[in-house]
Amino acid sequence: MTDTAAMPIAIVGVGKIARDQHIPAIAADDRFTLAATVSRSGGVEGVENFETVEDLLAARPDIPALSLCMPPLPRFAAATAALAAGRHVMLEKPPGATVAEVFKLDRLARARGVTLHATWHSRCADGVAAARAWLRDRQITRLRIDWREDVRKWHPGQDWIWQAGGLGVFDPGINALSIMTEILPHPLHLSGAELHFPENRETPIAADLRFAGPGGIDASAGFDWREEDGEVWEITVDTDGGELRLVDGGARLLIDGTEQPVEGPGEYPALYHRFAELIETAQSDVDPAPLVHVADAFMLGRRIVVEPFHD
């Protein structure tokens, strides 16, 4: 920031992701200070809390930036109110419940002359930038994504993810898609999908995706929320110059089986560093590409009904 004083910022939605990632990242960044929260279920000790975004915007004109950490369905209204009030906005992923929402928020931010940062935290994993650089001049022949975890561990009792608009298994799967769209030198498009819906839920518990791209690339992804033996967050890319693997959600990079040295500040500290840069330079960063793949999967996907899921 150009000013030596820390910029006041508010968090909207004080749930698990805010407490685990956003609040510590803000506390460690001397360019921001947590000045307020919006939460109906309890805020942060020692920080002023409001019931609604509108209450915050009316009472605290001194807070120029908001970080929205609530689920995607209510996020659009909160972002619209904040942008219309001339505040800078950072969006937890996904940036909207629909692609149209993202485009509308982007237009509103530009019209109001404020920053909109639509974040993809997995793009900031330590191995991602190095993977992108290594792939830049190589011919890719095959890409495979395996993204499996236990929904009961990572989303216990979160009914919103099973409701229409909650994305289901694409809530973690979109992290893999955000990395894929970041590291590949040429974009892919979705060519087919199979979506596995529990008979008692509105969103899928598993998905198998196929992609098409230049040179007849063999590209596919498998997402599954029924993995009980630990997390599998891996992307494997075969090229004319060897095999690249990103594991642990992009935190580790292997080339032909050999671990590569990577470093970084961590995903969420990197996001707030980027947010500060965007505000300082009067820019926005809005890339809907991962969400487009998800939307295409729901459009093209063959629906397969599987056994009921009970949390």
Band of pLDDT at residue 3, cut at 50, 70 and 90 = very low
Q: What pTM does this model have?
A: 0.94
Domains within the chain, CATH numbers bracketed: 7-118 (3.40.50.720), 125-263+295-306 (3.30.360.10)
Smallest CA-to-CA distance from 55 within 26, 81, 25, 28 is with 81
User: pLDDT, tens digit, for every residue of 228-269?
Assistant: 999 999 999 999 999 999 999 999 999 999 999 998 899 999
- The rounded distance, in Å, linking the Cα atoms of 23 and 11 is 8
Burial (CB count <10 Å: 0-12, 13-18, 19+), residue 2:
exposed
Q: How far apart are CA 85 and CA 94, in angstroms?
A: 22
Q: Which residue has the tokens 């196929």?
A: 210
Phi, psi of 39 (to 5 degrees): -160, 135
Band of pLDDT at residue 4, cut at 50, 70 and 90: low
Tokens of 284: 């926005």
Short-list 224, 229, 226, 195, CA closest to 209: 195
Give Cα 259 to chain centroid, integer Å. Answer: 26
Active-site positions?
A: 93
**Residues 6+ positions from 12 with CB-CB distance below 8 Å:** 37, 38, 39, 53, 56, 66, 67, 68, 69, 70, 78, 82
Average pLDDT, the chain: 96
Query: Which strands make up the sheet holding 116-118, listed edge to edge?
Result: 48-50, 32-38, 7-12, 65-68, 88-91, 116-118
Measured CA to CA, the distance from residue 304 to residue 302 in angstroms comes to 6
State both tokens at 60: 């605290």
| Each residue's pLDDT tens digit, 180-239 | 999 999 999 999 999 999 999 999 999 999 999 988 999 999 999 999 999 999 999 999
Residue given tokens 């693997």 in the structure block: 245
pLDDT in tens, 94-136: 999 999 999 999 999 999 999 999 999 999 999 999 999 999 9
